[in-house]
Amino acid sequence: MWSQKFDPKSGEPLKVSRTKIELFTRCPLCFYLSQRLGVKIPYGPPFGLNIQIDTLMKKDADHLRSSQNPDPRAKKFGINAVPFNHPDIKQWLDVFNNRGLEYFHPETNLLIFGAPDNIWLIDDARLSIVDVKATHSNKPIQESFFWEENKRQVELYAWLLAQQGLSYPISDTSYFVRINTKKSQNSFDNNCLEFEDEVITHTGSHAWVEPTLTALKTCLIQDTSPSPSKKCDYCKYRIEAPSIAR
């Protein structure tokens, strides 16, 4: 049995998602309020178009996976990649049902999970994480506000994949498949929105993951709330709003 909220008196493991680890990285107080006290931060509406693009991309990947044909988008950018097939692949890529890649971390009694968009077998020799980003931007993805979070995302997925005991080595190189609206499109006729694609390579390290999990667990077991993060908009609102509201 996995707990969804940390109880310091319970010995049950706490299930922690990739997004909760990111929340802790950005603001330990917001993480503590969520996972220790049950006070969730507000989330905006889902990005329906992005979700649909992700869904269609996964369907395309599944067709290639069943036939074990190379990914044409990867080939276009000089990458020899076939979508990796495995008996647990549907669970590993399932982002909507609280599943994904899972690993019980015994040192912290935490069950860590997260769902990548795809996994590529590169050159029939190593596995790489793939993440799809649907955007409308004139900037390179590396200049995005979310770039640091994006890098941590694929690095955590690579760490989770490395815990699955697979025969293939897990590459430090991950790939972002960016689906971006075309800047050259000058009209919209209710029938077509045009996109262009690119594959961005990121070579990183997941050495930060285990120290972060240790710090995260230390945060959870303390009985006092962490200090607000100076960069957290939620913390700024909580501090400023009571002094203004009457």
DSSP state of 143: G
Residue 3 is assigned to a structural domain of this protein: no
Percent of the chain with pLDDT over 70: 95
At 246 the pLDDT is 59
CATH code of the domain containing 58: 3.90.320
Cα dist. 149→10, 135, 145, 211 in Å?
31, 15, 9, 17
CA 120 to CA 174: how far, in whole Å? 9
At 1 the pLDDT is 46
Side-chain half-sphere CA neighbours of 241 within 13 A: 6
At 68 the pLDDT is 95
Which residues span the domain enclosing 223?
A: 14-244
Structure tokens at 192: 């077509």
Residue 78 is assigned to a structural domain of this protein: yes
Residue 125 is assigned to a structural domain of this protein: yes
Nearest alpha carbon to residue 102 among 2, 32, 7, 25: 2
Terminal Cα-to-Cα distance of the chain (whole angstroms): 45
- Please write the tens of the pLDDT for every residue from 86-126: 999 999 999 887 789 999 999 999 999 999 999 999 999 99
* Residue 231 burial (CB count, 10 A): 9
User: What's the domain count of the chain?
Assistant: 1
Residue 184 is assigned to a structural domain of this protein: yes
Residue 45 is assigned to a structural domain of this protein: yes
Structure tokens at 80: 């020899």
Residue 8 is assigned to a structural domain of this protein: no
Is-contact 126 67, C-beta < 8 A? Answer: no
- In the block, tokens 């503590």 appear at 32
CA 235 to CA 240: how far, in whole Å? 9
Residue 163 is assigned to a structural domain of this protein: yes
Q: What is the pTM of this model?
A: 0.92
Residue 5 is assigned to a structural domain of this protein: no
At 238 the pLDDT is 87
* Residue 25 burial (CB count, 10 A): 16
Cα dist. 168→22, 121, 157, 164, 165 in Å?
27, 9, 15, 10, 9
